[in-house]
Structures are given as C-alpha cells and as structure tokens.
Chain A
Amino acid sequence: MLYLIDVLTLTAILAVAVHGYMLIKGLAGMLHLGHAVFYGIGAYAGAILSTRLLPPGFFPVAVLGGAVFAAAGALLVGWPALQARGRYFMIVTFAMQLIFVTLVINFVFTGGPDGLSSIPRISLGPWQPGRRWALALGPLELGFAQVKLLVMTAFTGLSFWFCSRIVQSPYGRLIRAVREDEQVVEAYGRDATRAKLSILLIGAGVTGAAGSLFAHHFNYVGPSQFELDLTMLLLAMLILGGQYSLIGATVGAVLMIGLLEALRFVLDNGLGVPLDMTAHLRQAAYSVILVLILAVRSHGLFPERLPRLARPPARQPAPRPAPAPTPASSDAVTDLGEAVLTASNLQKHFGGVTAVASAGLSLRRGKIIAIIGSNGAGKTTVFNILSGFETADGGEAHVGRTSILGRQAAEIARLGVARTFQDVRIWNRLTVIENILAATPYQPGEHPARLFLSPGRVARAEAANVADAWSLLERFGLADKANHPGSDLSYAQRKMLALGRVTAFNPAAMLLDEPTSGVDPKKLDVFLDHIRAFAHQDDRAVCLIEHNMAVVKELADWVLFMDEGRVVTSGTPGEVLGDHILMRRYLGHRKVATA
C-alpha cells in the first residue's frame, strides 16, 4: 500500500531529525526554536549537490553534504548566540526560523519561490533505480518504494546508533553536565561554550542529513516546507516521546505521525463532519491534542536512562589516589612546602560596594589554610577571584610563576586549582559515579572526534577511570549510591560527593568553600578525616572557608581572619582563635566553642 509506505518513509526521515533535536534540546538542554532551518539547509544542500554538482550515483555524498552544510549553518548561528551565555539562544534560533524562508525565497540558487525540482532518487554508485525498479527476492518482489523505505529505515538505525554512542560516551556525559550546571563544568577545566557549540553542530549535522534524505525521497524542496510549523511538529514529537531519551525521540516521531494520519481518517471518514471543513479541523484538533498531551504528560513517555556502571572485579586493594601533580606551568615548583598558589593585594568592587579591599594568601603543599570571618567579609569573593569566576579589580595571583588573574575559570582549573561551592552544586541528573567521572581530568572520550576515530583508546581510558571512580567512591563512603542520580542523595552525602569530585580532578590546590556547613555534627569527623588526608596524604595545598571554629582548630595549619574585605590578622589557630577581643568582635559575646 503506497500510502502506508509513504507515511512510514516520512516517519523514518523525521525520526532522524528528531534525533538531532534530542541531542540539542534533551542532551544539552539548549532550547532551540529553529530546528526546521537545519533540516531545510540540509535539504537544500543535498538538492543542490545532487542536481548541479555531483555525478549520478553519489547519493550518500549528498547526505553527508547536507549534514556538513547544516553544521556550518549552526556554527554561523551558534557562535554569536552562545557567546551571550546562551540566554538569548532561543530568541536567536526563533528569529533564524522566521528569516530562513524569506531568504530562501529571494535567492536564485535555491530556486526562489519555486524551489528545486527533479532531485535525483536514492542511489549508490552504479545502482541508480528508476521508479519502476523492483527487486525480486524469490517469490517476493519489492518495489522501489519499499526498498526506499528500507534504506531510510536503515538511516534511522544508523542515526540511532550514532546518537546513542554520543549520549552514552564521556562526551555525552560532559554535555549533560553542561546542561545541569555549566559553571561547575568550567570549574573542572572544561570549556562549556565550546562543548555546547560542538553538540549544536553535531545535532544540526544529524538533522541536515535528515533533510538531505527528505530531498532525495520527495525529489522536490520548496521554501514552504521548512516553516515554523515543522519546527513545532518536531518539538512536539520530541516532547511527546520524552526529550531526554533517544528511544523517546524515535517513538515520539512515530506516534505523532500516527496521530496526524489517524486524525485524517477520523475526520474524513468517521465523524460525519462537513467535508469542506476537515483540513482546518485537522489542524485545530492536532493543536488541541498537543495542549492536552502537554497538560497530562509534559515529561514525555520515556524518561532519561541513566547508565549503570558496574563495579570492576576487585583485583587489588583500592589503590591510593595519585599524589597531586605539579601545576602545569613552565616554572613548576616541585619542592615540598613551596607555594603552589600565591595572591596578594586582591581587590574587588561591586558598584559602590567594596567586597575585597586587600587580600592575599599563600597556599603550600601539604598545608591547610582556613579563612574565617563574618558574612560579607569577602571570603567567597576571594575564592571566586582565584578560581576565575570573578575578575579582580587589582592585585596579583600566581600558580607557580604563571599569573592567573584575568584567565578563564577553565584555564585556571587546568593549571591545577580546583574549588567547591558554597551551595554544593553537584550535577543532579548525573549519577553519583558520573559526577566523579565528569570531573576526572584524562578523558579522551570527551572529544567527539576521538570517540569515533580511536574507540579503543577511549574505551580503555574509560575503563580505568571507572575503576578509579569506584575506588574513590569507596574512599568517600558513597559506593552503594554509585548508580543513583545525584538528586537522590541527602545533603550530607552531597557535600561528601563534592569532596569526592574535587579529589577526582586531582588538583594541586583545593579551595573548599564551607565544606562542612550544614552537616550533622555527628558526621563531621568523617569530613575532617578526608580534608586532612587531602593535605597530608595526597600532598595538596588546601584552603578552606569555615564558620565552624572547632573544625578550624582541628584542621588548619594557618588561619586568616578577614573582615570587610581585608585580611585583618593571620596566625596559627591557637593565636587567632585565642585572641578573645577578635573573637568577640567576630562572634559576639558568646564564648568560642573549642570542644
């Protein structure tokens, strides 16, 4: 039945486009209202290649061409859009959608309002079937349309495989981390904007390939086919199926087309509606049903499938975590006790308010420095400056001999400085072990090219990282929650995970922002042991912001007291905490708890 075959073929092609949408919206969390444009660029590119540039029989090249041009279009749009930190991304893509049709109508090489006709059919080298071509398989005869359906379905399968590889890879994990909290991704040395741009290009490429498939299936492309309603249809397919799932994306495409065709039947044949109204009613019914679906199940049918990573067989006792590497600057300091991170005279003003007037510190390997002071004293701002999340208005800071002020957060992290956040900020929809893995530095699988070009190396690195991650989780007592999403953890467990995560990054210097705040006093000891181990066992330079004087007394080798943006005094815990006048000023008239 030609009708059914045609419907299924179109469904297969649209499913590929929805896969691309899933990568951009579901995996990377980028809200994007111009998906039909990528599809359209791919369709036009494929059409122009096949009708004017390529010799016959080069259909697969045209498909690839569609992907490449769509990705180029995405680069053109995405690069400025993402520079503005992605907030305007939705608006930019929407504007792109509105303009695309107008542009295409006005250019001659796209065929103007007529579009491009007589696009060659699917082919492969010498196999260039005509419409009447048939394949005889014993008693069965497959017509051209059926073979075309099989070819398109094969492409759907290929796209599914390709996108699955992306989703389940370390690269996919990185993208999901960017979706959850891109600032934290930067704190762990990865460039979030570049990651978002790369997945945008990949998603657009997949969609462009789908567009080229469409061009060769329908043999005609015209401007009216790539308007906002197509984007809305693709978005509806994605949402219906479940935007975080590739299976969902595929099923969504099938169900949505099924719905539209079922509506056609119901209205034409079933309901006794005046027939001249059915076209309008079909559109209206589709819109209403869409709203109902969104009301009832806006998460879609298929939820996100988080990976379950198996614990490797116990080969040996958990290896000790590697000692902290030297900072990757050319004048690396290797002597024990030398300064890893130094800063002096830091200043920061916010409008008329001075957050930091003059602050400096010197972090050494194996030593723990605590910064204390009342709220608003400028402690977190100092951390933000040192980790690159704020720019300083004055002063200096160095890792080894390399100046870090003015550098991006990701760069500074790569130099060996890592931090935790006051509000924890784990990646909620990554599993616990994925939180560790996403922070692990050496991951060849984070580069999409290497994912496909050197899969062996990627697999080996991933296996080693997974083994190390399990050990780390055991060290921090979170092994039994390894495959749970981060959102399942209790507050204390999250704070523990934050410590584990920063350890996984293996930095030379750790800046811990209130690592024990809000933790049940009974569980405090475990935290203290870990922090102590960072300095004494792992040989890192540790700096922590703390409000709990007991913790400070237990851990710190040196204390800095900040007030109103300045380091007012510094000394050993005994000296600073023993200074009653200071403490009274800081804590009021209560006695310092030293127990």
Chain B
Amino acid sequence: MTLSQSLLPFLANGLSLGLSISLVALAMALIWRTVGIIDFGLGSVYLAVAYATLGLTKGLGLGLGIAIPGALLFGVAVSLVLYGAVYRGFLRRGAPLFVMVLVGISVFMAIQNLIGAAVSPQKFYFIDTILPGFEVAGTRLNVAQLARMGVSLAALAGVAFFCLHTGPGRTILAVADNKRLAQGVGISVDRAYLWTYGVAGLVVGAAAIPDVAESGVDPYVAINPVFLALAAIIIGGLGNFRSPVLGAVLLGLAFHLAVWMLPASWQEVIAYGFVVAILVVRPQGLFGGMNLVRERA
C-alpha cells in the first residue's frame, strides 16, 4: 500500500473526529468569550441530551424524527436552568474565575454521578445496527459521521449568522466585547447570557446526538468531548468563530495521524503534546485571540 493510500483513511477519520469536537468547542468558546468563564458544566448538557434521546427512542418508542428535536429542546432547557439556578448567582456576585471553573466541574460531576446512581452505569444504544454509510477516501464514513460534519459546518454558519445578523445575537457580541459599555447603552447582560447559554446548549446537543448514536449512552460519555473541546480552543484560539473549529480539526487530525505514525498507545501523548507545544510557542492560539477576558482570578 502506498503512503498516500494508507494515509487517507486516517485523514478522513481525523477530520470527522475534529468536526465532532468542534461543536462542543464552539459552544465552549461562545460562553468563554461572552461570559468570560471556562464552563465545564456543558458536559451536563451533553449528558442530558444523550439520555433524553435514549429515553425518547427506547423508553417511549418515538421515532428519531421526533426524538431528536425533543432532545435538543431538552438540552436547551437544561442549559438555561443551569445558568439561572447556579451560575447566575455566582456571576452576579462577581465570583472569581477559579470559583466558576470549580462550580462548572462540580455541576458536571454531580450530574454524571447522579445519573450513574439513579439510572445505571450501563451503556445503552438507541441504534443497534450498522449505520448506513459510504466509502470515502479508502475508509467508510457512516451517516452519523457525515451528519456530524454537516452539522458542525451548519452550526458554525448558524452561530455566526445569529451573532452578526440578529438582535439577540448582536447583544451577545456587544457584551462579549465590553460588558460595561453594553450595560451603559441599556443592554440587559442577563438576557444576553441567557441567549448565550441557550445557543451553547443547542450546539452541544447537536454534538451529542450523532456521537452517542455511534458510541452509546452511559454517564461517562461527556468527559472526553469536554476536555477535547478545551484543547481545541487552546490550539485554535478565540479570535473569531472559525478559530476553535479549526483548532478542533487540527486536534482530530493529530489524534489520528499519531496512530498512523506510531503505536496507538502514544496517541494521547502526541495529541496533548501538540496542545502543550502550541501553548508554549503561541499561547494566544494558532489563529489568535485567546486570552482570559475576565481575568478575575
């Protein structure tokens, strides 16, 4: 097999993994830029959507056509509730960044463990068969992967359009840019945050459903996506909406190319090593713009 022949499947799969990470990265980036915090609590939304899809399909026997929108709506609701019930109180009192990070992680862990206790740690699938797919670039990409790729690009375009061309979206950008000034011209910061969390919840849900269609639902499925999303943001930066997405793609490629080059047990070392290298050499991210906007540590 020629070099390129054996390389192509890894490139294709790496791209697919990257685009799957990119959705969560986009959501995390949106919150980071607007609210100024790194929110690991998004993992809770991921889990909520995953289990909602499971419940609607296997539990209630509904078809995917109803279950998917239902689960997405549930995800948005969960995201808004978490903001209103937990984060808002802390943000209003000007809690420092590390407290917010701790709160986010704690909420995520609490929900993960509550699900483990109340539902079960078992893994469940709502799609039992092979997903239909296509032969592409020497490997086979199934509809979940293709859906993911399509959804990420659509989400990217959608979020960009929303922020640049709609009223609520523009308030998000204004608050992200300069909160005080935005307040000064009468923008409700709380409303902007609500929109942010809602959109982020939707995007995370869109990431979760294709993921768990393939790899099943259990309480631990959200850990990887969330941490990889952060890694993607580190690599890509926060300069504009494209940056974290590009960072995610690079990260996905790094994961797969690492296996192509070396024994697979070095996969994580290479990929995370890449992250560290970026941090050392270009801390604002490859495409710039990453800084701790609200450094209230």
Contact = CB atoms under 8 A, between A and B. Distances in A.
Nearest to B121: A280
Nearest to B114: A284
Contacts of B231: 95, 98
Contacts of B275: 95, 98-99
B109 interface: yes
Contacts of A25: 98
Interface string A65-83: 0000000000000001100
Given A29-B297, A284-B110, A87 B276 contact: no
Contacts of A98: 227, 231, 272, 275
Interface stretch (A286-294, A396-404, A525-533): A286-294
Given A95-B275, A98-B231, A232-B105, A298 B99 contact: yes
B106 A290 contact: yes
Nearest to A96: B276
A84 interface: yes
Contacts of A458: none
A504 interface: no
A209 B129 CA distance: 53
A283 B291 CA distance: 32
B266 interface: yes
Contact of A235 (B86, B98, B276): B98
A419 B51 CA distance: 61
B84 to A, nearest CB: 14
Interface in A94-108: 94-96, 98-99, 102-103, 106
A90 B280 CA distance: 13
Contact of A287 (B101, B113, B269): B113
B110 A91 contact: no
A291 B104 CA distance: 9
- A contact patch SS: helix
A553 to B, nearest CB: 38
B292 interface: yes
B102 interface: yes
A281 B292 contact: no
A98 B107 CA distance: 20
A294 B90 contact: yes
B228 to A, nearest CB: 10
A280 B120 CA distance: 10
Nearest to B273: A99
B265 interface: yes
A81 B105 CA distance: 24
Nearest to A88: B283
Given A29-B297, A280-B117, A236 B272 contact: no
Contact of A95 (B111, B113, B234): B234
Interface string B266-297: 10110011011001100110000011100101
Interface residues of A, number: 37
Contacts of B230: 94
Interface string A101-118: 011001000000000000
Contacts of B89: 295
B116 A280 contact: yes
B160 interface: no
A277 interface: yes
Which of A88, A228, A232, A235 counts the most chain B CB atoms within 10 A?
A88
A283 B111 CA distance: 10
A319 to B, nearest CB: 42
A31 interface: yes
B103 interface: yes
B196 to A, nearest CB: 21
B269 A99 contact: yes
Nearest to A101: B268
Contact of B266 (A87, A106, A228): A106
Interface string B67-85: 0000000000000000000
A239 interface: yes
A92 interface: yes
A96 B273 CA distance: 9
Given A98-B227, A291-B86, A239 B102 contact: yes
B109 A284 contact: yes
Given A235-B98, A287-B107, A106 B265 contact: yes
Contacts of A294: 90, 95, 99, 102-103, 106
Interface in A184-236: 228, 232, 235-236
A33 interface: yes
A232 B40 CA distance: 13
B146 interface: no
Interface string B241-267: 000000000000000000000000110
B288 to A, nearest CB: 13
Contacts of A99: 268-269, 272-273, 275-276
Nearest to A232: B105
Given A87-B295, A235-B102, A239-B102, A95 B272 contact: yes
B53 to A, nearest CB: 22
13 contacts: A33-B101, A90-B297, A95-B231, A98-B227, A99-B273, A106-B265, A232-B102, A281-B114, A284-B109, A284-B113, A287-B110, A290-B102, A298-B99
Interface of B: 86, 89-90, 95-99, 101-103, 105-107, 109-111, 113-114, 116-118, 121, 227, 230-231, 234, 265-266, 268-269, 272-273, 275-276, 279-280, 283-284, 290-292, 295, 297
Q: Which 9 residue pairs of A and B lie closest in terms of their CB atoms, listed nearest first?
A: A287-B110, A284-B113, A280-B117, A277-B117, A31-B297, A280-B116, A287-B106, A99-B272, A283-B113
Given A281-B113, A294-B106, 17 more contacts: A81-B279, A84-B283, A90-B98, A92-B276, A95-B276, A96-B276, A98-B231, A106-B266, A106-B269, A235-B102, A239-B98, A239-B102, A277-B117, A283-B113, A284-B109, A284-B117, A287-B107
